[in-house]
Amino acid sequence: MRIFVTGAAGFIGGRLSKLLLNRGDQVIGLDNLNDYYPVENKRRNLADLLPDPKFTFIEGDLRDADGLRGWFEQHRPDTVAHLAAMAAVRYSVQHPLIYGHVNVQGSMNLLDAARHLGPIPCILASTGSAYGGDTPVPFEESAPAAHPLAPYPASKRSMEMFAHCYHHLWKLPVTILRFFNVYGPYGRPDMMPWQWSRDIHHGRPITLYNAGHLHRDWTYIDDILSGFVSALDKAFPFELINLGCGRPVENIQFVKIIEQLLGKSAQIIDVPSPASEPLITYANISKARKLLGYDPKTNVEQGLENFIRWMKDNNLL
Ligand SMILES: NC(=O)c1ccc[n+]([C@@H]2O[C@H](COP(=O)([O-])OP(=O)(O)OC[C@H]3O[C@@H](n4cnc5c(N)ncnc54)[C@H](O)[C@@H]3O)[C@@H](O)[C@H]2O)c1
């Protein structure tokens, strides 16, 4: 298959591209290499893909609607895997407008190009934070998810709604995957697993919201990828599916596992949880199990061990 992967220089897009190339697919990767986090991390991800002759890289922007149409026309992908986004809840509170420009308008540009030049089936990365703070746990896809707590989840929820309307009006095949707290090797340097590991290793204090009593449904990268690839191969007419681990862990417990793996103690600064943070994320993964054969296998003990080993092997601690 010929797959157009947006956000191919990012954490999940980079790992997905690698997996697809390894199984023989052609990958056209798009990324604007923005400096929200250091570009060297994105270049490291790309360096793992560029030697493969089945990989083509386009440095370009989702906000360029004509560009997207041109790239689709030129490369004629069978499927689009849309992972490019401004991610991160906290940054979105400081910089809300770019979340509308990239995650809403940019995703619309992509959906629009996919309907005009196909329709080309689209698999969209969304987020478990769309469930906000008022959805009963475990979160089910049928919940209204009408009260996002920050611009980032609001932008992803908007993308989901536009995707539904593109399917409804123009029969664009769309699968929306709501990822939950993804971590693992090649992870994002702005996310907690990376920051906590590095700070604990260097004896620097770490900040925990609510004394670490928030629960997060940490999901290992390989599990996310297995669900993603299954959705990509199935190309449903329209589905919205949670991809989480289904086993939320308290952040304080997550930190304890990092302490054990590093053999060091954390100095914890306890601050109140901001209004943008839900108390818990917890995916009901029955639908993913049924439709995708999804079966997350990696618990946080094993996942963090793999992550910290990768950090050490690459001198990133
Ligand atoms: N990592 C997680 O825990 C998590 C959880 C839920 C959802 N997601 C979603 O999964 C997807 C991938 O996340 P990630 O963790 O790999 O993040 P990431 O930031 O590592 O990857 C996103 C990539 O998109 C690129 N990008 C951003 N704006 C762009 C634009 N305008 N045009 C082209 N490229 C652009 C960035 O340069 C980056 O390389 C995102 O859509 C994110 O919202 C991630």
Average pLDDT, integer, range 54-74: 98
Ligand 1 neighbourhood includes 229 CB (under 6 angstroms): no
Q: Position of tokens 């999940």? A: 12
Centre of ligand 1 from the C-alpha of residue 188, in Å: 9
Percent of the chain at pLDDT > 70 equals: 100
Ligand 1 neighbourhood includes 102 CB (under 6 angstroms): yes
Centre of ligand 1 from the C-alpha of residue 264, in Å: 31
Average pLDDT, integer, range 290-315: 98
Domains of the chain in sequence order: 2-183+219-245+282-296 (3.40.50.720)
Ligand 1 neighbourhood includes 84 CB (under 6 angstroms): yes
Q: What is the predicted pLDDT for the residue at 222?
A: 98
Per-residue pLDDT band for 131 (boundaries 50, 70, 90) equals very high
Ligand 1 neighbourhood includes 181 CB (under 6 angstroms): yes
Q: What is the predicted pLDDT for the residue at 84?
A: 99
Marked catalytic residue, from 37, 152, 186, 220: 152
Question: Mean pLDDT across the chain, nearest whole number?
Answer: 98
Give Cα separations from 41 to 12, 44, 187, 256, 272 (angstroms): 12, 5, 9, 26, 31
Distinct helix (H) and strand (E) counts, the chain: 12, 13
186 is known as an active-site residue: no
Average pLDDT, integer, range 88-107: 98
Average pLDDT, integer, range 307-312: 98
* Nearest CA owner, ligand 1 atom 37: 33
Which candidate, 295, 303, 95, places its Cα nearest to that of 216?
A: 303
Ligand 1 neighbourhood includes 246 CB (under 6 angstroms): no
